[in-house]
Structure 1
Amino acid sequence: MSYGKFASIYDSLMQDIPYDQYVEWVASRKTSGKLLDLACGTGTLAQLFAELGYEVTASDLSEQMLTMANQRFHESNLRIPTYQLSMDNLEGLQGFDAVTIAIDSLNYLKNGEQVQKTFNEVHKALNEDGMLFFDVHSVYKVDEIYMDSPFILDDEEVSFIWHTEPGKAKHSVIHDITFFVRQQEDLYQRFEETHEQRTFPVATYITWLKAAGFVIESITADFTEAEPGRESERIFFCARKV
């Protein structure tokens, strides 16, 4: 999806995400090599991986996100090639030792067929024994936690009112968010974004990964090494190409 004006405030909204822990999680299982960061957003993770010594390539479907990512890489003197691609169509990208799909990006795919195709595309893009790392919202988070809206953030620079409702598909959610972004001392710009996400049970992801030619290395929850429980919110998958 195209994030529009959302790209300009994405980093402010994501400042509580423990990106360093994400990098540590990947680095503990794949210490070096060529890494493809799918749905890279504004490039925060790609930059961290590059600074750690990985040879990074980044892609995102959103032109606005890639513009900000390229600016970040330029300011950090990093040579990270970028591509405007959907994660379920990676034609021409091959030879990677690791692929990441971070911060519930996979949940933006509309149906199971797209998820399966993404796993197939990633499998083709990876070298033998290459690793896929991704996280998704749990069914519990989508079906229960997200249904407790509205959520409100009142901040000096960016505020929002966030309403949710169930999507048409099972385990899906529609986010309707109204943003107020400070322009001057007493002037705020208002704009609206609608995002739809969908998730699936852990067992379904396992089935699709195995069908694509992966073996499961680990499944953990909420930035820990613990196995997922009923009330886990974010599920982390590490899978290896065979």
Structure 2
Amino acid sequence: MAVVYDRLMKDAPYDLWVEFTKQMIVDYQPDTRTILDIGCGTGEITHRLQQIGFQLTGVDLSSDMLTVAQQKDPRANIQWLKQDMTNLEGLDQFDCVISYCDVFNYLVEESQVKCAFANIYDALHSDGLFLFDVHSLEHIHNDLSGATFAQVQDDLSYVWFCDPGEEDNSIVHDLTFFVQSGEIYQRFDEVHHQRGYMLDDLKDWLEDTGFLIQQISADFNSHYSTEGERWLFVCKK
């Protein structure tokens, strides 16, 4: 999916993620220089933060995503690493760690979430900042589970089924793509598993890891409300 990912995500709120990151750094860690972007995908947020002066490292599990990210600007001073967020190696003393676009929802076991929190805690220097988001349970149940999405373009079409998964609050994304290649269309299929978690559980796991939760908000709005499609967490080591 890496080849068509940016086209599918052209309306994603990248600017809002970047502005959120900048503001949280100003509010909670103004001396930030180094940022670790976990689940960086094709590097849209990574590149934007690097371009405004931060030192970036991008981590993703997909080598195809990382290839696309690196090719966007081969001269950019960004380190790209293929690693699993539940088994990070050789990463420490970062001022800030970010993980956006529901990356944590791809961890479908509670133990994986706890392990990732612990790895990120270890990757930060003392007083480091951790910013991430997840799908809200309301969004999973009301907008995603059981829904079907489709798009038809001249050279790209897809059908996307979101079916309830076997685990509580989980969904299975069953995607079929048709991509034009010369005079023919090539079909490829992908299945993605995601799971949502209770807000109180995430808070408990973060605090058990050692994080101090500074604020929780929804959809880039006031931190006094968690009603929305996406919960955003601001934590400090």
In the superposition, the TM-score normalised over structure 2's length comes to 0.93
From 89, 92, 96, the counterpart of 2:90: 92
Q: Is the 8 A contact 1:172 1:199 kept in 2?
A: yes
Cα deviation, residue 18, structure 1? 1.5
1:138 to 136, 139, 148: 136
Q: Secondary structure at the match of 1:28?
A: helix
Q: Quote the offset at 1:83 in angstroms.
A: 1.1
Task: Quote the residue 1:67 is aligned against.
Answer: 67
Q: Which amino acid aligns with 1:224?
A: N
* 2:4 counterpart residue number: 9
CA distance in 2, matches of 1:60, 1:224: 28
For 2:145 and 2:122, the matched residues in 1 are separated by 37
> How far apart, CA to CA, are the structure 2 residues paired with 1:158 and 1:207?
43
Residue 236 in 1 paired to residue 235 in 2? no
Match of 1:194 in 2: 191
- Deviations 1:67-123 (CA, angstroms, capped at 9, x unpaired): 11121230xx21111111111111210010100111001111120111011111111
CA shift, 1:222, in A, is: 1.4
- Of 151-160 and 16-25, the range deviating more from structure 2: 151-160
2:77 & 2:24 partners in 1: Cα distance? 24
- Aligned-pair identity (%): 37
Counterpart contact for 1:143–1:172, Cα < 8 Å: no
Secondary structure, in 3 states, of the residue corresponding to 2:17? helix
How big is the shift at 1:203? Answer: 0.9
Q: Is the aligned partner of 1:214 residue 2:211?
A: yes
Structure 2 counterpart of 1:3? none
- Which position in structure 1 is the counterpart of 2:57? 57
Cα displacement string for residues 12-39 of structure 1 (whole angstroms, at most 9, x for unaligned residues): 0111011111011011121531000001
Deviation at 1:61, TM superposition (A): 0.7
Structure 2: gaps spanning 5 or more residues:
none
Q: Is the 8 A contact 2:146 2:163 kept in 1?
A: no
Q: Paired residue for 1:20?
A: 15
Please tell me whether the aligned partners of residues 73 and 80 of structure 1 are also in contact (alpha carbons under 8 angstroms): no
TM-superposed CA distance for 1:45, in Å, is 0.8
Task: Name the residue aligned to 1:204.
Answer: 201
Between the aligned partners of 1:182 and 1:240, the Cα distance in structure 2 is: 46
Partner SS state of residue 112, structure 2: helix
4+ residue stretches of structure 1 with deviation over 6 A? none
Counting matched residue pairs gives: 231
RMSD of the alignment, in Å? 1.3
1:36 aligns with 2:51: no
Aligned to 1:46: 46
Q: What is the distance in 2 between the residues matched to 1:84 and 1:153?
A: 31
Task: In structure 1, give the amino acid aligned to 2:50.
Answer: A
Contact 1:73 1:79 in 2 (8 A): no
TM-score by length of 1: 0.91
For 1:213 and 1:66, locate their aligned partners in 2 and report how far apart those are by CA, in whole Å.
31
